[in-house]
Amino acid sequence: MSDVDARPSPVLEEKVLRTGQGVRVVWRAEELSRIHGIDLGALVWRRPADEGTRRWLETLDPDALPSLRVITPVEAVPRLLAARRPGNAGYEWDVLTRDIIRLAHAFGDLVGGSHLRLRLDVVTTNACRRYHMDRVPLRLVCTYRGTGTQFGPGRPGRDPDPRFMAPPWSPLLLRGIPGEVGDCPGIVHRSPPIEGMGETRLVLVLDPVSCPDAHAVKGVP
């Protein structure tokens, strides 16, 4: 499997541009809006990890990794994360949460709407093992610990060709299909198969929310 730095070949480019299966790599947050290009099915924002925070996350016991599932206005994300700040948290926690807040704002600007669904998941199983498309118009996935999301041009239920992996700390934008996915071509993806390998991943997932309950921030204890 190729790292996403291995750009699609010209032949593949031609094929994917006709089927909405294009993959673009960008290096700046300002380029995230390119995902709205009709030919693209995915976009990766390549960026380096904060090495200190990456090492800190790697050394944490899986039970100590932060997790969160909420539907929330973007503006409330800092407060939600601050409420979960461990007493002994240091620089690394601040880097991680600032990054999540930054991605929430960037994604909110892309999709509009008043609320986002935010999941910060600790994953130890294969999660979504089959290649698929999500039933949301757009999803952001950023792996902070462990192996990144696998993806590529293809059809649901089949292995894509070629296959790429989004590097950790490099957000992956995936276009989905809000209705019935069927057998239509696009960029399919899956969680990497890690079950039984002793690996623990920490993954941020952001989705737009079309009909939030405006009177409650769900999932807040």
Binding site for Fe ion (CB under 5 A): 128, 134
Under a CB-based contact definition with an 8 Å cutoff, are residues 3 and 152 in contact? no
CB nearer to Fe ion: give 23 or 81.
23
CB nearer to Fe ion: give 77 or 187.
187
**What is the closest distance, in whole angstroms, from the C-beta atom of residue 56 to Fe ion in the complex?**
27
CB nearer to Fe ion: give 128 or 220.
128
List of E strands, the chain: 2-3, 22-26, 40-45, 68-73, 115-123, 138-145, 150-154, 164-165, 172-175, 186-190, 201-208
**What is the closest distance, in whole angstroms, from the C-beta atom of residue 112 to Fe ion in the complex?**
21
**Residue-by-residue DSSP string for 62-97:** GGGS--EEEEEEGGGHHHHHHTT--TT--HHHHHHH
CB nearer to Fe ion: give 47 or 132.
132
**What is the closest distance, in whole angstroms, from the C-beta atom of residue 134 to Fe ion in the complex?**
4
CB nearer to Fe ion: give 50 or 207.
207
Structure tokens at 214: 């405006």
CB nearer to Fe ion: give 50 or 134.
134
User: Between the CA atoms of 28, 165, 120 and 208, what dihedral angle is there, to the nearest 10 degrees?
Assistant: 60
**What is the closest distance, in whole angstroms, from the C-beta atom of residue 71 to Fe ion in the complex?**
18
**What is the closest distance, in whole angstroms, from the C-beta atom of residue 147 to Fe ion in the complex?**
15
Which residue number is nearest to Fe ion in terms of Cβ? Answer: 134
The count of residues in the chain is 221
**What is the closest distance, in whole angstroms, from the C-beta atom of residue 38 to Fe ion in the complex?**
21
Spatial distance between the Cα atoms of 88 and 73, rounded to a whole number of angstroms: 28
Structure tokens at 145: 């610990």
Cis peptide before 162 (omega within 30 of 0): yes
